């Protein structure tokens, strides 16, 4: 008998429960990836992510070939393509990973109906894309946790399944055509310094991270110029690494750095369980606050300055330029640029979330939208009215100004923390800088935000 394994956000061979279940129960397996027309149509096919995806698929194919198999690639409507492949391979069942977005749920339901109508089964596996399945942990009076700390307490007590390695051999039915792997070469508009995708690159990065980086993580994760975080987020987004394996291995590495790192992995699960329970939170306010954001038209110039990294606030501009150049931004940068857009400029969080999704290699519906809501005060932040001051943030998390000088070369001549306040230069020195004045005074922004808050309550 034959099984199909539908790969989605789990592009790996190690610790892959759907693949293992399929290999346990079948003589032959079709490892299938469908380039889904609906995902492209919804605007989620950002070039930076497609480039990383192309690497992931090429690496998955290479890994399967080493084991006697290959990846089968199709393009079009995912349900139609899976059904077509099932017929072509004469498969009895399809295995896939559980996922949380409204789209993923809809896909699963459609697929189940279509397969059952053909007398075939769909088997959906948990703990492939999350450590703890969304919905497994609930507080007494709700279907999900709205506050991280109690969630984390329960999450930490949860027993984990054992992990396992990549299969030794994969036999794919010969008559099933392979299809065409997408290629980076077909893409344009890519950020110049994108990371390499794929399980092989991910496992290398993970090994290096656990050997050295993780030990200093607790002390250094907020240091903007130190770049002392794992940068594993694109691998977690595409599932080239197993989150369960990451937790096991980090716990084995031990120490305060590893503990702090595991806590961040729990944030990822936390946002997933929020989105699973409240699927509209991808676009609607999680907490209704009746914000009357400035219209996009009225704020057009401010939004443009923010996107391009020329707001006149050096640390904001540095972070926005890092995003455009690398398709990635430091978490502290994400927090302060999101606070700046939604609170200081009082622009709707959806405008910022969209821009991030257009560029981030790790752009992820649950993590991006819910972190944006957190920063905007419409989400799960228990202090929704706090406003981050970009000058204070810069001085604190980039005390010697190195991050600003790296990304904003116009300020390269400003030594130390002076890079955070170019307006303090006088006369000719200020005029010689090819760098804009602030788009808004911080006091004015704060005032606007407070007035809006008072109108709301
Ligand atoms: P590390 O610090 O090494 O953390 C390890 C892993 O933990 C990360 O790879 C990530 O999977 C997870 N993690 C860390 N912080 C968070 C968090 N706050 N929420 C959820 N998971 C977390 N993360 C994304 O993966 N995709 C996004 O689209 C995304 N958008 C964001 C938008 C905003 C406005 C903010 C404030 C944060 C966003 N984050 C997003 C969360 C976080 O900034 C990134 O996960 C992190 O910067 C990735 O870098 P890293 O892998 O080096 O993280």
The pLDDT tens digits for 189-228 are 999 999 999 999 999 999 999 999 999 999 999 999 999 9
Residues 149 and 249 in one domain: yes
**From the CB of residue 238, how many other CB atoms can be counted at a distance below 10 Å?**
28
Q: Is residue 117 part of a domain?
A: yes
pTM of the full predicted structure? 0.97
- Single residue among 103, 127, 151 that ends a domain in this structure: 127
Is the pLDDT confidence value at 432 over 70? yes
Over residues 355-368, the pLDDT tens digits come to 999 999 999 999 99
Residue 195 belongs to some domain of the structure: no
- 232 CB near ligand 1 (under 6 Å): yes
**What string of DSSP letters covers 339-395?**
HIIIIIS---HHHHHHHHHHH-TT--HHHHHHHHHHHHTSSS-SSTT----HHHHHH
Cβ of 129 closer than 6 Å to ligand 1, yes or no, is no
Q: Do residues 162 and 247 touch, judged by C-beta distance below 8 A? A: no
Rounded Cα distance, 213 and 113, in Å: 46
By most ligand atoms within 8 Å of CB, the mutation choice from 213, 341, 367, 388 for ligand 1 is: 367
Per-residue pLDDT, 453: 83
**Mean per-residue pLDDT, 127-140:** 97
C-alpha pair distances (Å), 228 with each of 161, 330, 454: 29, 9, 39
Q: Is the CB of 388 under 6 A from ligand 1?
A: no
Kindly state whether residue 172 falls inside one of the protein's structural domains. Answer: no
Residue 311 to residue 438: CA distance in whole angstroms:
6
| One domain, residues 148 and 210 | yes
CATH number for position 36 = 3.40.50.620
Residues 48 and 151 occupy one common structural domain: no
**Overall average pLDDT of the 293-320 stretch:** 97
Reply yes or no on whether the pLDDT at 456 is more than 90.
no
The CATH number covering residue 351 comes to: 1.10.579.10
Number of domains in the chain: 3
Which pLDDT value is given to residue 41? Answer: 65
Number of separate helices (H) and strands (E) present in the chain: 20, 5
CA atoms within 13 A on the CB side of 188: 0
Asked whether residue 174 is domain-assigned, the answer is: no
Closest CA to 238 of 95, 106, 51: 51
* 404 DSSP β-pair partners: none
Residue 193 buriedness (CB in 10 A; 0-12 / 13-18 / 19+): exposed
Each residue's pLDDT tens digit, 14-67:
999 999 999 999 899 999 999 988 777 666 789 999 999 999 999 999 999 999
CA distance 152 to 262: 10
193 phi, psi to nearest 5 deg: -120, 60
* Tokens read off for 397: 């998390």
In a domain, 397, yes or no: yes
User: Which percentage of the chain shows pLDDT scores above 70?
Assistant: 99
Does a structural domain hold residue 140?
A: yes
* Closest ligand 1 atom number to CA of residue 270: 20
Q: Order across the sheet with 72-76: list the strands.
A: 72-76, 28-36, 2-7, 93-97, 121-125
State which residues form the domain around 242. 130-161+200-277
Determine contact, residues 145/138, Cβ cutoff 8 Å. Answer: yes
Q: Please report whether residue 71 resides in a domain.
A: yes
Write down the pLDDT at residue 44.
Answer: 77
Q: Are 198 and 60 in contact (CB under 8 A)?
A: yes
Give the side-chain half-sphere CA count within 13 A for 398: 30
Residue ending a domain, among 108, 127, 146, is: 127
The rounded distance, in Å, linking the Cα atoms of 37 and 51 is: 17
Same domain for 142 and 58: no
Cα of 394 vs its chain's centroid, Å? 24
Q: How far is the CA of 382 from the centre of ligand 1 (A)?
A: 19
Distance, CA of 437 to CA of 422 (rounded, Å): 9
Matching residue, tokens 């939208």: 369
Interior angle at CA 130, CA 123 and CA 271, nearest 5 = 125
- The interface predicted TM-score of the complex, written ipTM, equals 0.99
Is residue 427 left, alpha or beta, with left meaning phi > 0 and alpha meaning psi from -120 to 50? left
In this predicted structure, what is the pLDDT of residue 428? 81
User: Do residue 12 and residue 151 come from a single domain?
Assistant: no
Q: By percentage, how much of the chain surpasses pLDDT 90?
A: 92
CATH code: domain of residue 139: 1.25.40.80
Do 330 and 239 share a structural domain?
A: no
How many C-beta atoms lie closer than 10 Å to residue 427's C-beta? 7
The whole-number average pLDDT for the span 393-400 is 98
Question: CA-CA distance, 127 to 145, in Å (whole number)?
Answer: 18
Q: Kindly tell me if the per-residue pLDDT of 427 is higher than 90.
A: no
386 and 238 both lie in a single domain: no
Task: Give the tens place of pLDDT for each residue, 158-192.
Answer: 999 999 999 999 999 999 999 999 999 999 999 99
- How many A from CA of 455 to the centre of ligand 1? 32
Q: Using the mean position of ligand 1's atoms as its centre, give its distance from the Cα of residue 314 in Å.
A: 22
Residues 114 and 135 in one domain: no
Q: Is the CB of 319 under 6 A from ligand 1?
A: no
Q: Is 230 in the pocket of ligand 1 (CB under 6 A)?
A: yes
Mean pLDDT over the full length of the chain: 96
Token output for 125: 């596996």
Q: What is the pLDDT of residue 40?
A: 72
Q: Report which protein residue has its CA nearest ligand 1's atom 23.
A: 367
Query: Do 335 and 388 belong together in one domain?
Result: yes
Among residues 127, 149, 172, the one where a domain terminates is 127
DSSP code of 160?
-
pLDDT digits (tens, 9 = 90+) for 227-281: 999 999 999 999 999 999 999 999 999 999 999 999 999 999 999 999 999 999 9
Give the DSSP letter of residue 94: E
Half-sphere exposure of 299 (CA within 13 A, CB side): 22
Nearest to 413 by CA among 322, 337, 314: 314
- The answer to the question of residue 290 being in a domain is no
pLDDT value at residue 457: 62
- The pLDDT assigned to 42 comes to 67
Partnered with residue 28 across adjacent β-strands are 2
DSSP H or E run through 75 = strand 72-76
Counting other chains too, the contacts that 210-215 makes at CB distance below 8 Å and 24 or more residues apart are: 210/249, 210/250, 210/253, 210/258, 214/250, 214/253, 214/255, 214/257, 214/258, 214/261, 215/253, 215/255, 215/257, 215/258
In this structure, are 427 and 312 located in the same domain?
A: yes
Cα Rg for the chain, rounded, in angstroms?
A: 23
363: Cβ below 6 Å to ligand 1? yes
Name the DSSP class of 199.
H
Pocket test of ligand 1: the residue of 233, 266, 355 to mutate, having most ligand atoms within 8 Å of its CB, is: 233
Same domain, yes or no: 22 and 44: yes
My answer on whether 249 and 314 are in the same domain is no
Could you tell me if residue 254 is left (phi over 0), alpha (psi between -120 and 50 degrees) or otherwise beta? left
């Amino acid at each position: 008998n034959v099984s199909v394994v539908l790969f989605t956000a789990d592009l790996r061979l190690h610790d892959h429960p759907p693949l293992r279940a399929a290999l346990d129960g079948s003589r032959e397996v079709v490892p299938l990836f469908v380039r889904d027309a609906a995902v492209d149509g919804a605007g989620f096919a950002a070039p930076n992510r497609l480039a990383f995806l192309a690497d992931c698929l090429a690496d998955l194919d290479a890994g399967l070939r080493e084991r006697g198999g290959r990846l089968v690639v199709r393009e079009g409507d995912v349900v139609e393509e899976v059904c077509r492949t099932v017929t072509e391979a004469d498969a009895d069942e399809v295995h896939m990973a559980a996922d949380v977005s409204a789209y993923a749920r809809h896909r699963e339901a459609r697929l189940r109906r279509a397969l059952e109508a053909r007398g075939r089964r769909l088997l959906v596996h948990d703990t492939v894309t999350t450590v703890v399945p969304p919905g497994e942990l609930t507080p007494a009076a709700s279907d999900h946790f709205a506050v991280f700390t109690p969630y984390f307490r329960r999450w930490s007590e949860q027993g984990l399944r054992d992990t396992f390695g990549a299969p030794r051999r994969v036999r794919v039915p010969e008559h099933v055509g392979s299809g065409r792997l997408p290629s980076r070469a077909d893409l344009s508009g890519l950020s110049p310094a994108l990371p390499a995708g794929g399980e092989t690159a991910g496992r290398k990065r993970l090994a290096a991270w656990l050997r050295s980086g993780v030990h200093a993580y607790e002390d250094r994760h907020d240091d903007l110029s130190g770049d002392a975080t794992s940068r594993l987020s694109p691998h977690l987004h595409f599932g080239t690494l197993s989150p369960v394996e990451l937790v096991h291995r980090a716990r084995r590495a031990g120490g305060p750095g590893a503990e702090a790192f595991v806590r961040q992995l729990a944030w990822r699960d936390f946002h997933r369980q929020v989105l699973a329970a409240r699927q509209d939170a991808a676009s609607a306010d999680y907490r209704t606050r009746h914000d009357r954001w400035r219209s996009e038209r009225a704020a057009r110039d401010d939004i443009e300055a923010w996107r391009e990294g020329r707001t006149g606030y050096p640390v904001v501009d540095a972070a926005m330029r890092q995003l455009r150049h690398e398709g990635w931004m430091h978490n502290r940068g994400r927090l302060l640029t999101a606070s700046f857009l939604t609170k200081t400029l009082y622009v709707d969080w959806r405008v910022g979330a969209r821009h991030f999704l257009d560029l981030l290699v790790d752009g992820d519906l649950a993590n991006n939208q819910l972190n944006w809501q957190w920063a905007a005060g419409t989400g799960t932040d228990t202090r929704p009215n706090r406003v981050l001051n970009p000058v204070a943030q810069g001085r604190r998390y980039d005390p010697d100004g190195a991050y600003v000088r790296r990304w904003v070369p116009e300020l390269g001549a400003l030594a130390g923390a002076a890079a955070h306040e170019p307006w303090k230069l006088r006369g000719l020195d200020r005029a010689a800088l090819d760098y804009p004045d602030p788009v808004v005074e911080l006091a004015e922004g704060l005032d606007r935000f407070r007035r809006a808050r008072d109108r709301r309550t």
